[in-house]
Amino acid sequence: MKIDLFEAKERLLKGDVVAIPTETVYGLAASIHQPHAIQKIFLLKGRPQDNPLIVHIASVNQALDLMLSIPEDFHELAERFWPGPLTLVVPAKIDRVPNVVRASLPTVALRFPSHPLAQELLKLTGPLVAPSANLSGRPSSTLPHHVEQDFGSSFPVLDGGASSSGLESTILIEKNGWVMGRKGAIPQEELMDWLIEDSATVSSRPLCPGQYYRHYSPLAKLTTSSTYDGTPPVVLGFIERSYPGANEVIELGSLNHPEQIGASLYDKLRLLDRRNIPAAWVDLNFPKEGLLATIAERLYKSCQEC
Ligand code: TXA
Ligand code: MG
């Protein structure tokens, strides 16, 4: 059910959960001051409690209010990439950011979205926690009707149109220097000036708790192997390639335009289920560079067997 900005504000301030648009994906939002609504997000999504939530803010000052200390280069990163699809994990003021938001970690993930409607809303409500607006493990939502598919047609959605990037924010974590927590809408190559060189060796375990869990999977069984032998008969592939033996190719777009692939990736994954397609082969044979590295990671994780 689509609602307007005023109703979204009213509902959030009285402790409801509302789906909101961002430039990456839709979020399932609650006010940081409404613990019951925050709990409801975990229940609605079926999200494990040990997976913390991103706090969305509409100014650097709002971010500073929630931070215990300011890591080196924080201001530089904020100036360069905010508002936009970069999430920064920093030391939290634990009395300002409830435990349930942080999953009891001493840090908080902060994101300043560039979507104009998200910004207008955040100015009216103050900080909002919001995970992606999908059932846990399923593809994220980039359109209002995706949210309704997962949470029902009467679920309130602030309609901001299609999310332009279609891939979640890139997450950087401060660990005596910045390291990648999650690939995302800003390619790693654009962040090299800020990342410490040995990012990969900082930890062999995922740095974002959410990275432990299955993600982005449609009900369709997705497979990937280096060569395609005609089974299953449906292929998720690219415009410039041919797939001998396939009955149907669902085109993800052109490898020359990764931003277009990103924008409709989750819609294509959701399409498989809307059409009751039981299985598909995913073409992962492309260079994992720039945004294509993020797209490859999402597709890889969406293969249930991987
Ligand atoms: O683009 C996005 O980031 C979207 C939109 C709605 O803003 N949000 C999103 O939220 O992708 P979610 O909950 O689907 O993914 C957030 C990720 C999870 O992997 C979680 O574990 C990680 O961020 N995270 C949150 N707080 C963290 C923290 N304090 N330390 C490490 N990882 C954290
Ligand atoms: Mg998510």
Q: What are 109-119's pLDDT values in tens digits?
A: 999 999 999 99
CA–centroid distance, residue 28 to ligand 2 (Å)? 10
CA–centroid distance, residue 231 to ligand 1 (Å)? 35
Q: Which ligand is nearest to the CA of 130?
A: 1
Q: 77-128, pLDDT tens digit by residue?
A: 999 999 999 999 999 999 999 999 999 999 999 999 999 999 999 999 999 9
Q: Which pLDDT belongs to residue 256?
A: 98
Query: Where are the alpha helices (H) located in the chain, listed in sequence order?
Result: 5-13, 35-45, 60-66, 74-81, 99-102, 116-125, 144-151, 199-202, 258-274, 291-302
Q: Is 3 helix (H, G, I), strand (E, B) or coil?
A: strand
CA–centroid distance, residue 11 to ligand 1 (Å)? 23
Q: Which pLDDT belongs to residue 208?
A: 86
Q: Report residue 304's pLDDT band, with 50, 70 and 90 as the boundaries.
A: low
The set of residues, in sequence order, having a beta carbon less than 8 Å from that of 38 and lying 6+ positions away, is 30, 32, 53, 98, 100, 101, 129
Question: How high does pLDDT run on average in the chain?
Answer: 95
Q: Which pLDDT belongs to residue 199?
A: 56
Per-residue tokens: 232: 């299953």
Whole-angstrom Cα distance, residue 254 to residue 207?
A: 32
| Ligand 1 atom nearest 169 alpha carbon | 1
Task: Tell me which residue of 139, 71, 152 sits closest to 110, measured CA to CA.
Answer: 71
Whole-angstrom Cα distance, residue 38 to residue 54?
A: 12
Q: Which pLDDT belongs to residue 210?
A: 80
Q: Which pLDDT belongs to residue 200?
A: 57
| Ligand 1 atom nearest 101 alpha carbon | 26
**Mean pLDDT score, 6-28:** 98
Predicted confidence (pLDDT) at residue 189 exceeds the cutoff of 60: yes
The one-letter code for the residue type at 274 is R
pTM of the model: 0.96
Ligand 1 binding pocket mutation candidate from 168, 172, 186, 213 (most atoms within 8 A of CB): 168
Q: 199-245, pLDDT tens digit by residue?
A: 555 566 778 888 777 778 899 999 998 899 999 999 999 999 999 99
